[in-house]
């Protein structure tokens, strides 16, 4: 196997892990939230209600970004399935253009540039997850 294929496959596998565990964490917490909110309702304050709203909103953002990361992982696996980095990049660009996600690319971005872009998306997921956890803890403290 070539270096680009190994790198793309390894990044895709790690990315899938980083996309899935926050997804399950947020889904479990959001599923339990109505039960917790009803149990705490008599003591609920405006701040607790606001914290629950922030937690719910940041949870939804975390879910959305996690879904995008799963999609990106699949694209990296597609890229790794090609014999060369250029062919893999062209294939990914073709898929994105056919889906009307991005216009047809003028040039092929390198694997490293694609990884850097996905790492920025991963950072956004972590910020949203952090906000979700913090807001959930604030809401639970009331």
Domain boundaries, the chain: 3-140
Identify whether the C-beta of residue 108 lies closer than 8 Å to the C-beta of residue 86: yes
Residue 105 and residue 30: Cα distance in Å, rounded? 39
pLDDT given at position 103: 85
Identify whether the C-beta of residue 67 lies closer than 8 Å to the C-beta of residue 125: no
Residue 78 tokens, joined:
């597609």
Q: Which of the two residues, 66 and 52, has the higher pLDDT score?
A: 66
pLDDT given at position 137: 87
Model confidence over 66-78: pLDDT tens digits? 999 999 999 999 9
Model confidence over 104-137: pLDDT tens digits? 777 888 899 999 999 999 999 999 999 999 998 8
pLDDT given at position 71: 96
In terms of Cα–Cα distance, which of 81, 76, 138 is closest to 109?
76
Q: Roughly how many angstroms between the first and final C-alpha of the chain, as a whole number?
A: 55
Model confidence over 3-40: pLDDT tens digits? 889 999 999 999 999 999 998 999 888 787 665 555 55
Residue 114 tokens, joined:
């694609």
Residue 69 and residue 23: Cα distance in Å, rounded? 11
pLDDT given at position 30: 78
pLDDT given at position 36: 59
pLDDT given at position 27: 87
């Amino acid at each position: 196997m070539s270096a680009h294929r190994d790198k793309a496959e390894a990044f895709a596998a790690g990315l899938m892990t980083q996309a899935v565990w926050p997804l399950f964490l947020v889904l479990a917490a959001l599923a339990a939230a109505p039960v917790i909110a009803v149990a705490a309702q008599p003591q609920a304050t405006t701040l607790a209600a606001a914290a629950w709203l922030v937690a719910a909103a940041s949870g939804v953002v975390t879910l959305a970004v996690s879904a995008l990361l799963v999609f990106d992982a699949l694209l990296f696996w597609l890229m790794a399935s090609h014999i060369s980095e250029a062919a893999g990049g062209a294939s990914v660009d073709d898929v994105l253009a056919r889906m009307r996600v991005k216009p047809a690319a003028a040039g092929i971005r390198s694997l490293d540039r694609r990884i850097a872009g996905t790492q920025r998306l991963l950072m956004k997921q972590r910020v949203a997850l952090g906000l979700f956890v913090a807001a959930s803890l604030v809401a639970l403290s009331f």
